[in-house]
Amino acid sequence: MWKKKETKKEEQVEEQVEKSLLQELCGDDAQLYDFLTNHLVIDPAAGISEESLDFLTAEGEKSGNFTQAVDKAIFEGAQKPEERERYIKVIQDLASKTIHTTELEKEKCEKEGLTDRAASLAHRIEKQQFLSDRAKDIINVASRFYNENLLELEENVRREARAVTRRNTEMEEQRTGETEKAEREARKKEREVKS
């Protein structure tokens, strides 16, 4: 139970640190910050699909949901500065596809009198337009965010490896100490028997 509380507290601290890093990178741009809080992940290896961008785009074509493809494109664009312009175009294309699909759904909802749903879809269209208009800014901030997070994750892995090594060394020293103690006691008993 104590361990669970510690882990939960550590996760909360990490989340606060990540938020403050993202806030720092976005500055006073609240729209950019709000958008990126929904599309950047602390651990890209765990949060970004391993599937190819082409596969995720094809899946988005089938479902009408390009979120995973957008997140993958943002991550890859952030990690490949020499290809940023290509990824900006990919993101803009994904946003355009989402807008088109969402507009069709919004029109259908309006015809059916589903005003709340239509309003929600209008909000989604606004977010996708923001994504398209600000793709370059999004990738630039994502690049700095992911670079910092990946460095932190690497440091955490090294720190954990050192802790494991330290624990193993301590356990080995304890076993050696116990073995030496048992040998001393055996020699002492042997001497007592001889006397």
Q: What is the pLDDT of residue 10?
A: 54
**Residue 155: pLDDT band by 50, 70, 90 thresholds?**
confident
What pLDDT does 177 receive? 85
Q: Give the helix ranges, DSSP H, for the chain.
A: 2-26, 30-37, 44-47, 53-63, 67-79, 84-111, 115-133, 135-194
Q: What is the pLDDT of residues 66-101, one digit of tens each?
A: 999 999 999 999 999 999 999 999 999 999 999 999
Q: What is the pLDDT of residue 162?
A: 84
80's torsion region: left (phi>0), alpha (psi -120 to 50) or beta?
beta
* Closest of 192, 87, 186 to residue 146, by C-alpha: 87
Which range among 2-6, 101-105, 154-158 has the greatest average pLDDT?
101-105
pLDDT over 70 at 17, yes or no: no
Residue-level length of the chain: 195
- Determine the average pLDDT of the residues in 141-169: 82
What pLDDT, in 10s, does the model give residues 36-68? 999 998 888 888 999 999 999 999 999 989 999
| Nearest CA among 122, 112, 139, 107 for reference residue 39 | 139
Distance CA 77, CA 126 (A): 22
Alpha carbon 8 to its chain's center: 17
Q: What is the pLDDT of residue 76?
A: 95
User: Is the pTM of the predicted complex or chain greater than 0.75?
Assistant: no
For the stretch 22-41, pLDDT in tens is 999 999 999 999 999 999 98
Confidence check: pLDDT of 194 > 90: no
91: Cα within 13 Å, side-chain hemisphere:
29
And the tokens for 25?
Answer: 């990178």
Q: State what percent of residues in the chain have pLDDT above 90.
A: 59
pLDDT of residue 27: 93
